[in-house]
A and B are shown apart, each in its own frame.
Chain A
Amino acid sequence: MDVKLRDGTVATVEDSQLYEFPEGLFGFEDFKKYAMVSSEYAPFIWMQSLENEHLAFLIVDPFLVCDDYEVDIDEKTLSKIGITSPKDVCVMSVVTIPANGNPITANLQGPLIINRKTNQSMQVILNDNKWTTKFNIVQALKNREAVC
C-alpha cells in the first residue's frame, strides 16, 4: 500500500511494515496504526501514522546507542500483544530532535515493544529510574569512541 509521509512524499510499504499499537503511544492514544519506513538516515527508522499524515516518529534500536541497555517487562504485560517468547520481542526507542539545538536524545524509559511475529506493539514505561527519557545519543557514541 501507499503511505503518505510527514514530509509530503509517498512510500510504498509491504504488509510486513505495518504495525498496530492497540493502546497507541502515551499522549497519542487515538493513533494506533503505523508504518515503519526506512529512512535515508539509517539506522533511524520512520514510524509514520497511517491515521494522521502529519504524525511521525523517528525511532532507533536502543541497543545500538546504549551498550548496557536492558528492559525488564513482566509476562502479563507482554501477553497483551501476544508475546510469549523472548525471541518474539523487538525493542525500539523514540528519538527526540529538539528545535532549540539541544542534543538529540532517545527515550530509554518509554521503549516500544514489538511482537516480531504479529507486529502488535505497545509503549511501556520502565519504573527503573536508571533509564531516562532523554538519553543523549551523541554523547554516548562519543564516549564509546573514546573507550575503543
Chain B
Amino acid sequence: MLILSRKIDEKIKIGEDITLTIIEIRGDQVKIGVEAPKNIKVFRQEVFTAIQSENRAASEIPSMEKVNELKKLMSK
C-alpha cells in the first residue's frame, strides 16, 4: 500500500490515464476529483459493498409465499 500526503490542487496519477485531484478539504471531508476513462469503474466503496451484500441477500431465498402475494398485486 502506498501512503502519501497531498495538498489542495495537488494530484495523484494512477497509471497512464487515471488522475485524482484533491479539490477541497473541509473538516473531516475531502472532495476529490476523479478523472478516469469511462470503462474504468469508479464507485464509492460503500456503494460497491452494498451491491455485493444485496446480491448475497438475494441469493438466499427463504420462501416463495410472499412472492405469490406480490404476483397477485402485480396482476391487478
Contact = CB atoms under 8 A, between A and B. Distances in A.
Contact of B57 (A74, A96, A145): A96
Interface centre among B42, B50, B68, by most chain A C-beta atoms within 10 angstroms, is B50
B4 interface: no
Interface residues of B, number: 32
Given A6-B61, A110-B55, A97 B67 contact: yes
Nearest to B62: A99
Interface of A: 6, 25-28, 41-44, 55-58, 64-65, 74-77, 80, 94-99, 104, 107, 109-110, 123, 125, 127, 133-134, 137-138, 141-142, 145
Interface of B: 37-39, 41-43, 47-48, 50-64, 66-71, 73-74, 76
